Chain A
């Protein structure tokens, strides 16, 4: 037990252990689990949640929370799909559509950040209110699900770039962004803002700018997630991504980032997202009746949370 106590603050080690256990169970239940195509298909399924969880980590580190990211995913999806269709659906149109989608994500994050940091609003209620606005706008852009994306889009997403599966390229790029950000002063300053806001302010940190940047990152990673989901579904859906925000928050907390802010990191969140994905997969392959899946998934997540807290508690 003393050995476990030394983990203090590094809940992600526990999460990693949980992930390994889940991987072993899944490998036993699903014989072809380690085949490259199955690994790739699993990682593809988990990718949107991983991306949203990375973005959410920055917001939570800064002591805020972003409930609107699910609505951002929907808005980015419908804007991208509509822009691509409006421009004729060729290669240039796809590129412009992707840029437009990322622009929408970053802008939504900017709006959240400006309202919360600039006007001193409470993040939970504010991002809930903006999520209503964002999903309203998504329904305005595209009232009904439909409007397919051109074939090159989803073919590229399911295919590979220079011999490497596109999904892995996206993972690497996302990890690189997270790794670079982790070495920048930004990460330390953001933790200071989330840890002790008054002290951070008194040492002269630009709180507003840091918090707005965190929300923009969340919006941007939400956009990445949305573009990936669009690659999977190959069509527009104004109701896409509704459960993503809550799952991402669970992933971030599972990964050891404190909801109070100031402690944690993106590595843990990625592990947390994978754990949540693997729980779903294990339950599926354990052949549990469909109606028990939500219950068991909920119980496991609660148990994992309680376990992580107990183990790292000082």
Chain B
């Protein structure tokens, strides 16, 4: 019985069942919803959210109320930088990619330094950083959209690379595998869980907890910049608030995927499934032809329902 309960509370299983149920529901409501090319389309959107959520996942795993609310602004920054560096030229894609990721990494590192050495709570530090980046973007762009995606980048995100599947999905699959290997098989991965679940114990075993945490925030920024490049590849051009819509969904994908907001427990595989489930839910709600407010209410209600299954905190009475 308890094994059954454990199984029913496994986030990977719940997300997978939710994905299946949503696909069936979508197909029932609007035939063709679960067609191959539609699924590829939905997975592409999920991949962009999933890559952003990878960074979010790392800082949340690292504990100490870790969270990165600046990720949306970093995505916007990455998109604007990449767009301006490329400006429609295929040859400049590698440089654009490197510039966006580097800018993200530097901003993330500043977040990490503020969180660890100045001991500013992550929620506030990254919130403040969000304001600074958004302000910086307004100054840089003067509110005018600028920069264009190179054709090859747009093809990479939107067109089939192999068997009808666009290149970005292969990249995302690689990220899923690499993240799983890193978290479960490397010393660095283990130390993330160690500082996330019991920082004092981790320090006593000799782990440089602060440096690890700074690196985690840096990586979160890097993934943010990466996401920005994907976003401009998806939409073709960038505007300065393009990343805002990813902030809270990236946190929710992590939570749906079974990573505890308290840190120290969870996996990126779960987060990836969580991102797919979230995008599917939004898509099904759009297909249902509901009014906007109805979609909102159902979306919020579903999140609460998912949390009822496994987003709950430990009981105080033992």
Contacts and interface: CB of A to CB of B under 8 A. Distances in A.
Contacts of A65: 123
A137 B296 CA distance: 8
Interface residues of A, number: 49
Interface stretch (A15-23, A40-48, A291-299): A291-299
B138 A136 contact: no
B128 A305 contact: yes
Given A122-B261, A291-B142, A293-B135, A139 B65 contact: no
Contacts of A305: 120, 124-125, 128
Question: Which of A296, A302, A309 neighbours the largest number of chain B CB atoms within 10 Å of its CB?
Answer: A302
Interface stretch (B33-41, B187-195, B213-221, B308-316): B308-316
Contact of A295 (B65, B119, B135, B296): B135
Given A65-B123, A143-B293, A198-B316, A136 B261 contact: no
A294 B300 contact: no
A131 B127 CA distance: 18
Interface string A270-314: 000000000000000000000111111111011001100110010
A69 to B, nearest CB: 15
Contacts of A293: 135
Nearest to A131: B300
Contacts of A298: 128-135
Interface in B35-92: 65, 67
Interface string A126-140: 101111110111111
A122 B255 contact: yes
B32 interface: no
Interface in B262-318: 291-297, 299-301, 303-304, 307-308, 311-317
B121 A299 contact: no
A23 to B, nearest CB: 22
Contacts of B145: none
Contacts of A72: none
B139 interface: yes
A121 B119 CA distance: 26
A81 to B, nearest CB: 16
A306 B255 CA distance: 29
6 contacts: A120-B314, A139-B293, A259-B121, A301-B128, A305-B124, A309-B120
